[in-house]
Amino acid sequence: MYQCTLHECMLNTVGIFPSHELLLWRLESYTSSSNQLCNCTQSASEQELEKATRRPSTVQRHPRHVNTDSTWKPGHRTTLITNTTCAQHYSFLILVSSAPANLQRRNNIRKTWAFESAFKPRWTTVFLVAQTRLQNESNSLSKEDEVYGDLVRGAYYDHYWNQTLKIQMGFEWAIMYCKFSFLLKVDDDVFVNSAEVISFLSKPSTPNKKLYMGRLYEHYPVHRSGKWKVTDEEYREAHWPNFCPGFGFILSHDVVVTFVDAFAVLPYFRLDDVYVGMLAKKTRIKVINNAGFELEDPEKPEKQCIPNEGTLVRHGYGTVQEECLIEISIEPLKYAG
């Protein structure tokens, strides 16, 4: 099995927001050309893929090496089969948990809120994916990785209860192969208001150390039945430690490092968002609530394409139309430049 070797990232963060007209033009151009990729993985040759619009890379590739020395630390929970690294220092790094089959979701994200190449990049987005037992999906992932270079892949099979492995893999990859000030972890069914996130993180009032922020679940009861059932043998307490739901939360760089160190002493737990809360409790990191992390409102679907003031991350965009995601991505940026 191939593994990554340690790679030192370079450069300093620079960047200003463009006008919304420029961003809209870039998005329209990208949307038009990259639509070829949505269905090409089944039939197009690698040469045809190369001709399709390639996402201007803010991550870079390096040769794969078999790692047989101490650069791969014993505390690592997962084995990487990726050669993706960061190209520079970023204000924030976005890690998106995604299933192998969710190519359309990843493409929608690339064409909308993750289209950071319209800026002089201050952030970058990578997708955390595992392996699949379906050969056509595996082939599709390999082609997608070759075209975009933004997949971080682990040597384990994708499963709903393997999301904690993605957390561990993503955090470990981030501190080994990237330089960043903050990390934003999200799922692939959210909208990220990138401009607002940068604005928020740039405020003097935002802590740059010991930050774990999202939609706070405080004194949340443990479910003993249903989809998220947990037995007494797994967890005896009646309530979870404070945590943020996995659709979105922000960590400062030092907290990511602290959590990775704690992987070796805190046993794996299958609920990924709860596990992060356990890490926070173990390492005495306070969970901070922020109303900018929003859940979808199924009773008001017409509001989905209207961003609220202060929205950082909104959940519920896995099945919405691409036009809606583009609309909500463009709107906050009209006033950013």
- Helix ranges (DSSP H) in 35-95: 46-51
Report which of 99, 31, 319 is spatially closest to residue 189, judged by C-alpha positions: 319
pTM of the predicted model as reported, rounded to 2 decimal places: 0.76
Mean pLDDT, residues 206-226:
96
Q: Helix 272-283 to helix 163-177 angle, to the nearest 10 degrees?
A: 60
Lowest mean pLDDT among 9-18, 212-221, 235-244: 9-18
Q: State mean pLDDT over 46-54.
A: 34
Residue 1 has pLDDT above 60, yes or no: no
DSSP track, 141-197: HHHHHHHH--EEEEEEE--GGGHHHHHHHHHHHHHHH-EEEEEEEEETTEEE-HHHH
pLDDT digits (tens, 9 = 90+) for 292-322: 999 877 666 656 666 678 889 988 776 555 6
- Angstrom distance (rounded) from CA 144 to CA 126: 12
pLDDT of residue 231 exceeding 50? yes
CA distance 89 to 165: 25
pLDDT digits over 139-188, tens only? 999 999 999 999 999 888 998 888 999 999 999 999 999 999 999 999 99
pLDDT of the residue at 79: 74
Q: CA dist 124 to 12, 204, 208, Å? A: 14, 22, 18
The structure tokens listed for 255 are 């907290």
What average pLDDT score do residues 287-296 get?
93
User: Which one, of 120, 95, 277, 110, lies nearest residue 175 by Cα?
Assistant: 95
Q: Measuring CA to CA, which residue among 238, 235, 285 is closest to residue 259? A: 285
Which residue shows structure tokens 């990554």? Answer: 4
DSSP 119: S
Residue 132 has pLDDT above 90, yes or no: yes
By three-state DSSP, how is residue 231 classified? coil
Pick the range with the lowest mean pLDDT from 99-108, 259-268, 274-283, 310-319.
Answer: 310-319
Q: Are 127 and 150 in contact (CB under 8 A)?
A: yes
Residues whose CB is less than 8 angstroms from the CB of residue 253 and which lie 6 or more positions away in sequence, other chains included: 175, 180, 181, 182, 183
96 and 169 Cβ atoms separated by less than 8 Å? no
Give phi and psi for 32, each to the nearest 5. Answer: -60, -45
Q: How many helices (DSSP H) and strands (DSSP E) are in the chain? A: 9, 12
In Å, how far from its chain's centre is CA 17? 21
In a 3-state reduction of DSSP, which class is residue 261? helix
pLDDT higher than threshold 80 for residue 291: yes
Of residues 21 and 189, more confidently modeled: 189
Banded pLDDT at 219 (limits 50, 70, 90): very high
Q: What is the pLDDT of residue 335?
A: 38
